[in-house]
Amino acid sequence: MSQAARFFDADMLQIKNLGHSSWQTVYFQRATVILTELVLLYALQLYVRGAPITAKKTFHAAALSILLSPGLLIIDHIHFQYNGFMYGILVLSIVLARRQSGLLASGITFAILLCFKHIYLYLAPAYFVFLLRVYCLDPRSWFRIRFAKCVKLGLGIGLVFGLAFGPFVYWNQIDQLLSRLFPFSRGLCHAYWAPNVWALYSFADRILIYLAPYLNLSVNREAINSVTRGLVGDTSFAVLPDISPRMTFVLTLAAQIPALVKLFFRPTWDTFVGALTLCGYASFLFGWHVHEKAILLVIIPFSLIALKDRRHLGAFRPLAVSGHVSLFPLLFTAQEFPIKTIYTIFWLVALLMAFDQLAPASSRPRVFLLDRFSFVYIVVAIPLIAYCSPIHQLVFGAKYEFLPLMFTSSYCAMGVVSSWISFLIVYFTS
């Protein structure tokens, strides 16, 4: 893309030219974001085309919810990234995996995706188990390996990685590449807490600081401002124990393994997409230095099966609300507030109403408590949005800047965690 960019504005390619925003640069970036999202449009078209006749409407609704996602609007079209293009490759890979004849292409397509952005590595365990089970092993016996297919898949993936990383090996830049791909020195939490388990952990630490004198708890005074200072770096907790990268890795893997075990013994396409979703949940909830934008790693694959029945939809609702509201702090100026708020609320209302009409009844009973929580959770979102942007600024001005961020992150974390628990129940009882 840089080869084309130099014809529009060569200054945008200068590494140290931070803050450069000429009109030529803006037009080029916006145009390329829109053009590359045609990959997503094509993948969703294939997804709908392969739907059973009786499920065409539900597949259309799911595809539209992804294509018109406020997450892609906020992150790509305003904040400026190319996530729509990469999620298009992911959806294409998932759709190809629906048929036996597309399994090889699915694996190679996912390998190409990994070369674009390494965050999708968190989904790799589900791909490994699924392709191993349905492509590399004989379906009649787990102990019979289909060597020819293993070789084809291995050569295809090896060729992709060789073309992508070969130049880095040739120029002895692999160490530099790895240090940038896995920056463990950046700390557990991002400057704005992603809505995951560590956001709730950090929030609990904040509460315990104030309760410490009454509960006779020891407080690390040097760490009091660590998680709220808005800087990237090592995160220390004042009351609760610190978390290491190894702990997050173990927790992420432990959260993924049960879903992978079911996928191995029941390697259907629906189970595969469910396992992908749960792998995304695990990496987002327990990962190290997770960005709020990574929630799309859960929302996109889940959207493909959210209308399977009303139990799936019940687990998806709080995720749809919390996942998109958690992206609001990315757009923090006054002129951006009505854009992100009005569009997201309109999308959520349209989605929830349409999905509620289209989702078929489940053959298994729904969990009453989770259904009631989902309703209350969605209702609370409106006053929270109102407080965190206009009301807080009117009341406090520039003071307590981290307070609305903390409320947003903690509220959204509760939604993501509840959605995860709900989908775990659905996945393992289906």
Q: How is residue 417 written in tokens?
A: 């965690």
What's the pLDDT score for residue 266? 96
The candidate with the shortest Cα–Cα distance to 277, out of 294, 258, 247, 300, is: 300
Please list the pLDDT of the chain residue by residue as tens digits (430 residues): 888 888 888 888 887 777 777 888 889 989 999 999 999 999 999 999 999 998 999 999 999 999 999 999 999 998 889 999 999 999 999 999 999 999 999 999 999 999 999 999 999 999 999 999 999 998 887 789 999 999 999 999 999 999 999 999 999 988 888 877 776 667 788 767 899 999 999 999 989 999 999 999 988 887 776 655 444 445 678 899 999 999 999 999 999 999 999 999 999 999 999 999 999 999 999 999 899 999 999 999 999 999 999 999 999 999 999 999 999 999 888 888 899 999 999 999 999 999 999 999 887 776 656 677 788 898 888 898 888 878 888 888 778 888 888 999 999 999 999 999 999 999 999 8
C-beta of residue 200 within 8 angstroms of C-beta of residue 413: yes
What's the pLDDT score for residue 369? 65
Residues β-bridged to residue 138 = 141
Rounded to two decimals, the pTM is 0.94
What's the pLDDT score for residue 263? 98
What's the pLDDT score for residue 3? 84
Rounded Cα gap, residues 284 and 107, in angstroms:
23
Geometric angle at alpha carbon 288, from 287 and 292, rounded to 5°? 75
The candidate with the shortest Cα–Cα distance to 201, out of 188, 211, 213, is: 188
What's the pLDDT score for residue 226? 61
Token look-up 């694959």 returns 301
What's the pLDDT score for residue 230? 47
What's the pLDDT score for residue 133? 96
